[in-house]
Amino acid sequence: MKKKIIISLITIASTILAFLGIYYFGLPALSGQNFGFLLLIFIILGVVLSLVFMFVEEKVLAWNRKKGRLTYCAHRVNKATGKMEKYESDIENKYKYYPFKIVGLTASVALVFGMIVGVCSTPLFQAKRYAKQLNIEDGTSEEFNEEFKFDGDVLLPILDKELAFKAAQAKLSTYGSQYTIDSTNFTIISVHRDGKDELVRVTPLEYSDIFVSMNKNTHGSIGYIEVNVVTKETKLVEVEGGMKYMPSAIFNYDLNRHIRFHYPSVLYNETYFEIDDEGNPYWVVPTYKNEITLYQGGTPTGTIIVNPVNGDIDRYKLGEEPSWVDRVVEVELMEKQATNALRYKNGFFNTIFGSKKEVFQVSDGYNYFIKNGQTHYVSCITSPNEADQTSIGFLTINLKTKEAKKYMIPGITEMRAREIATLHESVKAQNLDATWPILMNYKGVPTYFLVLKNDVQPCKMVLLDVETGISIAMGDTMDEVKSKYDKLINNSSSSIEDEVKELTSVVKRVQIFGDDIYFMLEGVEDKYFIVEKSVSLDAMFLKEADKVKITYVEYEGYNFVKTLVKVA
């Protein structure tokens, strides 16, 4: 008995130490909605049951002997034949490995339970619930025109995330050996300073390795880098007192450990670095709970805000966070909810079989429209067909209120807009790349704003209409672009019809870009003609030396073809 007590005490102590080690280094959420924690509890339960069995084992053996059960039928593999065979073994051997079997059994029960819950959580069984997680309202054209109106309060980024990150890296300078920056934590936010809004990206200086972290752990990181994505101004901001609570810190200064120790059961995925209007740094941590079974269907519940200098930490319900916070919901979580709402509206099987009625998805990318301190996630709504470059409208999500709206504004996708801009005759030879478009309402016209760039700097600003992508204006300054774009969109449909011209000539050169065909005609060698494949069969199979009769509208830099037929 004394030996068993010693073994039990050692086992209990080892289990407690193992649990504390897993909790300290693994930082699992102590919640029933965290499967890892559930598995750990089942394993501990197995250990406890095995210890209990160890103390009752003698009584179990005595009971078997009283019943005359001195042996039992066991199984083993015959080494000579490789087959399983039966043999008689002493009853004492039957319970020899029971403690290990109990632990294995409880762990297996947890795994089986997790698998069952996982299967039950799939859209096959829960499609309707997934579809209802995000309430998407139908936005009106009046609401779109007002909320996304391009005016003096709208700041458009000239630097995208990639170029801003390169600017931030250059600002590290002599600190490059001690600190590093992470592109995944490079938040775009608006700050209100000196009576006006500024649009900036901010990223904290993380320790470059564990040795730097050990040396500076109690002093903290020197600060953060701020990039104004409108003016391109970049600066390193030193924070008084140092930012001690960081993802790259160690021991109790580790940001995730600090959060977990204060809120052991909270669920969260991402941490966003933000600053308030005075430039004070904070970690903003969106929290969530699972609504579908135990482990799926995450939905926002609020935020945790951590002061990286002194470690002050507070938790807020959704809608009760400080006014300077730009994001209180996790972008990836909302994007997942949006995709489910658009895809599973009519059930799971509708997405696979039959007519696939009203099965849509958000596009492969997204951008933000930031106005009056409100950050809107914006992505076009399209079909699951990857070849489809048309959009039925746009989905917008306010990242502060979770308010989602669907605007039925048909047109081209963001990717198609990028292609049109980069393949435009005036810039095609420069081999420029395009930033992801930002949707806005420009004087009543749904419009994309994007920037053409090379590897080191922005080169051209672009405005083009969402509906067709035909009205496109480029320039070195926003004033220049707006002036050109105004001339294009001010043409009414009647005036455009009056300007339709007719021409018969021979095709000299043909290039195909997606659904558009670019070609030149003899006698008009300074401009490309652009025709959509869908205009006619003659357009679809157009080739050099064809003689064609066309009607077209002149635009700056190119001619848009309205009709095309081949003539003998």
pLDDT (tens digit per residue) in 119-168 = 999 999 999 999 999 999 998 888 898 889 887 678 889 999 999 999 99
How far the first Cα of the chain sits from its last, in Å, is 107
- Least confident window among 5-9, 28-32, 76-80, 262-266: 76-80
Q: What is the DSSP string of 519-557?
A: EEETTEEEEEEEEEGGG-HHHHT--TT-EEEEEEEEETT
- Give the pLDDT mean for 1-25: 82
Q: What is the pLDDT of residue 174?
A: 77
Residue 431 has pLDDT above 90, yes or no: no
Average pLDDT score, the chain: 87
* Over residues 5-15, mean pLDDT: 81
Cα–Cα distance for residue pair 12/14, rounded to 1 Å? 5
pLDDT tens digits for 44-71?
888 888 887 777 766 776 777 766 766 6
Judged on CB neighbours under 10 Å (0-12, 13-18, 19+), 159 is buried
Count CB-CB contacts under 10 A for residue 280.
15
Q: Which helix (H) or strand (E) holds 485?
A: helix 478-489
pLDDT at 554: 80
Give the strand pairing for 501-513 and 374-382. Answer: unpaired
User: Which one has a higher pLDDT value, 52 or 178?
Assistant: 178
User: Of residues 267 and 99, which shows the higher confidence score?
Assistant: 267
Instruction: Please give the Cα distance from 281 to 311 (Å, whole number).
Output: 11
Which residues partner with 462 through β-bridges? 450, 474
**Between residues 516 and 214, which one has the greater pLDDT?**
214
pLDDT at 386: 62
Residue 1's pLDDT band (cuts 50, 70, 90): low
User: What does the pLDDT look like over 487-535, one tens digit per residue?
Assistant: 888 764 434 444 788 999 999 888 886 667 888 999 887 788 888 887 8
What per-residue confidence (pLDDT) applies to 255?
Answer: 97
Rounded mean pLDDT of 30-54?
A: 86
Residue 442: what are its φ and ψ, rounded to 5°? -110, 105
Tell me, what's the pLDDT at 492? Answer: 40
Write out the two tokens for 456: 């080191």
What is the enclosing helix (H) or strand (E) of 25? none
CA atoms 497, 499, 505, 508: torsion sign: negative
Write b or e for each residue in 397-434: b if 16 or more Cβ atoms lie within 10 A of its Cβ, otherwise e. bbbbebebbbbebebbbbbbbbbbbbbbeebeeeebeb
Query: Using one digit for the tens of pLDDT, what is the confidence trace for 345-395?
Result: 888 888 887 667 778 889 888 999 888 778 899 999 987 766 666 788 899
Per-residue pLDDT averaged across 471-481, rounded?
Answer: 89
pLDDT for the residue 387: 61
Burial 122-139 (b: 16+ CB within 10 A, else e): ebeebbebbbebbebeeb
Rounded CA-CA distance 204/281 in Å is 9
Q: Look at residue 152 in the predicted model and tell me its pLDDT.
A: 66
Q: What's the confidence (pLDDT) of residue 514?
A: 64
Q: What is the mean pLDDT of residues 221-237?
A: 95
pLDDT of res. 98 = 79
How far apart CA 489 and CA 505 sit, in angstroms, is 29
Residue 114 gets the label, from left (phi > 0), alpha (psi -120 to 50) or beta, of alpha
- pLDDT interval class at 216 (50, 70, 90): confident
Tell which phi-psi region holds residue 431, choosing left (phi > 0), alpha (psi between -120 and 50) or beta: left
3-state secondary structure of 138: strand
pLDDT of residue 424: 85
Percent of the chain whose pLDDT exceeds 90? 49
- Asked whether the beta carbons of 361 and 313 are under 8 A apart, the reply is no
pLDDT given for residue 495 in this prediction: 42
Distance from C-alpha of 7 to C-alpha of 3, rounded to nearest angstrom:
6
Task: Please check whether residue 466 is in contact with residue 446, taking contact to mean a CB–CB distance below 8 angstroms.
Answer: yes
